[in-house]
Structures are given as C-alpha cells and as structure tokens.
Structure 1
Amino acid sequence: MASHLELPFREDRQLTEVMRLRVQSLQQRGQKRQDGERLLQPHEAVYRLDFSQQNLRFARWTIRLSAPGKLTITGTSQHWTPDLTHLMTRQLLEPAGLFWKTPEDGPDAPVKCYEADAQEFGERIAELAKIRKVMFFLFAFEDGLDRDNIDCSIAFKAAQKS
C-alpha cells in the first residue's frame, strides 16, 4: 500500500547568504572562481528538500506562480558543507525543471513546463532520496518572477514497509 507524501521546497537563506558572500569576496579581492566552480547569480537562491522517508516514487510537481515569469529548478548532487566546498558545475543535475507563466496567462491558468524533463527530474529526485535525507536546489527567478511569487512542492508515493 502506498501513501502520498508532499514535500515543500524551503529556501535555505543561510546557505544562499554564504554563497553570495563567496561571490562578493572574490569580487572584492579581484580573484576568479575556481576552475569548474558555479557561483550563485543575483537572481538565484538555494532551496532544500528534507526527506522524512527514503523509499519514494515521484508522483507530481505542485508549482504555483502568482505572477508571470520563469522558474528554473536545478538539483545538485552535493552533500553541502559550505564552509569547506564550493558548488561545482559537475554537481548540477540534468535535466532542470523549467516552469513558467506568460503575461497573457490568466491568474487561474496552469503553470507550463516541459513535461518530459519535469517527469525525469522528479524521478531523479526520488532516486536520490533513497540515499539522502536532504537535497539542495538552485532556484533561478527570471522575467519578473521572485521568491514571493512562488509556492513549490513535489509529491511522492511512499511505499509502506511491510
């Protein structure tokens, strides 16, 4: 028997700030990023999912955008220790989840996405949940969207232990 588990994406403000300070520090010292390092852009923030169960199957995305714009969610394969490691480009998962609304869409219009990519991304997250208690994501806000205009979660089918 399977039950549903809906997990909200939560902004990790502390980790976002640490990553912003890394960019600021490099700029102030006139240094360049490490080879392969992925620096946080001004329109990006770090979010996390905390898994209370490990044996999950992807069910659906629940993405609500209260304004037009584009949200790109990129998963990372990194176990984060921001004091010791920087985010490297090779740690970004493919595909990313791309969700958007256009200015022509009414307030009740469904959020658009590339279905196959969103499905594959959700399945990759479920796979990683088998070995993770926490997973981190880069949220990129574009075309007028910001953190105040989004509500995001991901639903899984959780297999019951017998």
Structure 2
Amino acid sequence: MAAGAGILELPFIHDDQLTQCMRLRFQSLQQKKLRPQDGEKLLRPNEHIYRVDFIQQHNLRFLRWSIQLERPGKVTVTGTSQHWTPDLTHLMNRQLLEPVGVFWKKPGDKNVEYNEADAQEFGERIAELAQIRKVMYFLLTFTDGLEPAQLKGSVIFKA
C-alpha cells in the first residue's frame, strides 16, 4: 500500500489454491475422459489465477500499472467478470474481459513495455468494476520462460 495523498496501490495476489483447484478440474476431465462444458476455459500450465482485493471500492480513478519483471518475457493479464464467488473452477471463455493488458521485457532492457491504449482502457474498466466488487480475479498467462515468481504487479488508483 502506497501512502500519500489518496494514492491506492492494490497488488496482484497469486491465488495458489484457486489455481490448483482449476488444474485439478482439468486433470479430472482428462482422467474421466470427459469433455469440458461448452465454452469452459481450462487452465493451461503457463496460466495462473491472481486476484486484487479492493480495500476501497468507490471513487477510484485508474492512474497506472506497476508491473515489474525480474527477467525477459511476457505476461498477459486478462480480467474475469466472475462475481463474488471465489470458485472459478468452471470459468467460461465469455467471462474473460477485453481488452487485456500485455506487458513484456526484452533481453537487455530494464523497463517493462506495454500497449498503453489497451492498458489504460483495461485499468479504467477495473476501476468501474471495483464499485460493485470487493475482489476481482485475473488470468495471467506467462510466456517466453517467465514464471509467477518473477512478477511483481499492482494497479495504482487515485482515491
């Protein structure tokens, strides 16, 4: 949490339990030779569930992303429209929000790059959704060798 004049920094929290639960769903379907529900999103090995807890829900204005990557690679942050319930086991593709935030770091670079227009729109959407949610869930996809332990991320709002 950043102190200061109405600045609120809300970290992405890796939800290990939910990620594991969703992986078990995938394994269970494979073992039983069953098909997923129509439109169901199954977690791939490079996908993890994160959440942001809104300690304040009203009058939030998106300021910026704070994404730090310890090594080169790419992370795609996709919001979900899943409400209240922490059970994303049956996450449906239609619950994945647009636009997504794509953040990457090239070999030799110090700074993380991203598509500013999409990231801005995505951040504003999160601020809107915060008004009706205490928690928001995100699907993070790690590529180019990047792993969850190498990410530190948060969303920064003006309160």
Please, what TM-score do these two structures have when normalized by structure 1?
Answer: 0.91
Deviating 4+ runs (over 6 angstroms): none
* AA of the residue aligned to 2:90: H
**1:60 maps to which residue?**
64
How many residue pairs match? The answer is: 153
Q: Where in structure 1 are there 5+ consecutive unaligned residues?
A: none
Residue 17 of structure 1: CA displacement? Answer: 0.7
Identical counterparts, % of pairs: 63
CA distance in 2, matches of 1:74, 1:53: 22
CA distance in 1, matches of 2:106, 2:33: 39
The root-mean-square deviation of aligned C-alpha atoms, in Å, is 1.2
CA distance in 2, matches of 1:71, 1:50: 20
**2:121 maps to which residue?**
120
Q: Where in structure 2 are there 5+ consecutive unaligned residues?
A: none
Residue 82 of structure 1: CA displacement? Answer: 2.2
* AA of the residue aligned to 2:23: R
Residue 110 of structure 1: CA displacement? Answer: 1.4
* AA of the residue aligned to 2:57: Q
**2:79 maps to which residue?**
75
CA distance in 1, matches of 2:145, 2:40: 27
Please, what TM-score do these two structures have when normalized by structure 2?
Answer: 0.93
CA distance in 2, matches of 1:133, 1:38: 23
1:10-159 matches, cutoff 5 A: 10-55=13-58, 56-79=60-83, 80-82=85-87, 86-105=90-109, 109-158=110-159
CA distance in 1, matches of 2:136, 2:142: 19
CA distance in 2, matches of 1:65, 1:50: 21
